[in-house]
Structure formats: structure tokens, C-alpha cells
Amino acid sequence: MSDQLTQFKEYIGKLKGLVGEGNTTNILSQALFLVVAGTDDLANTYLTIGSRRMQYDIYSYADFIVASAANFVQELHKLGARKFAVFGIPPIGCLPLQRTLAGGSVRTCSVSYNQAAQLVNSKLSPRLNELNQDLPQSRVVYIDVFSPLFDIIQHPRNYGNY
């Protein structure tokens, strides 16, 4: 995320050069910033590779992901962003790799991986609501991607030919 913030600062500098300070402020305050954070960290770094399991149990790692996402939004806010849509963790236990590694011989969705995603989401949504109070003149919304995607995976016939 720090690399993304550095690149964003570079973009702001270029934008100021093109349209000026006032227009840059207006563009940033009117733009919608889509934030996706934590999916890869949870699916790969924690669950698959397991390198973070030595430092964290799943509950404290969920807190770490949520804090990182909230800090990222706050940093974007300091740079002039005001409108945010933050996506929750999808049903990572249903990804092909996770089904192969943790889904057993029939490659079903990994229940424990999906529970980990839901744990993060259950902590992320209220934290983002708090940011609405903490960040002046901003709007932060949580986008639930877990529920609709999981429903499509579990009930594909409800969504067209299968």
C-alpha cells in the first residue's frame, strides 16, 4: 500500500502541473476511490503460505487487515480524496487454488477460508462506518462482495444456464 500511496502522490503532482492546484483539489474531492485491500494477504500470505501465522492468530490478523485498510483510506483522505468504496473480502475459500489446496478430494469451497473472509468483513464494515465520523467531508461505504458471489457459486442455476 505504501507503493500505491507514493504513486498516487506522483499522480497528484502531475495533475497539478496539468490543471493547477484548485482544479486538482476539486478533481480529488469529487472522484470515487475504489479500495480493495486484504484479499491476497488473507488468501495467500496467511492461509495458503502461512507466513503470517507465526505472528498472528486469525482474529488478530483480521484486525491487522482492517487497520491497514482504514489507515490507507485515512492517508488517501489526507491527500484530498473524499469519496471511498471499500470492497470486502470475497469468498476466497471458493477460489480454484484454495479449493484445490483446502477443498478435499472433491474440491469443495473451503469453509474455514470463507469463515476467515467473513471474520475480516465483520470487522471491516463497522470500522469504515467509524471513518465516516472521523474524516471530515468524506463518505466511506463498505461494498459486500462476499454474499452475492457466494450465492452465485452456491446457486448457479439462479443466475442463468449452467
Please state whether the predicted TM-score (pTM) of the whole model is above 0.85. yes
Collapsed DSSP state (helix, strand, coil) of residue 87: strand
pLDDT tens track for 106-134: 888 999 999 999 999 999 999 999 999 99
Does residue 103 register a pLDDT over 70? Answer: yes
Please give the pLDDT value at position 59.
96
Cell numbers linked to 1: 500500500
Q: What's the CA gap between 24 and 15, in Å, rounded?
A: 6
> What are the boundaries of each domain within the chain?
31-144
Q: Is the pLDDT of residue 76 over 90?
A: yes
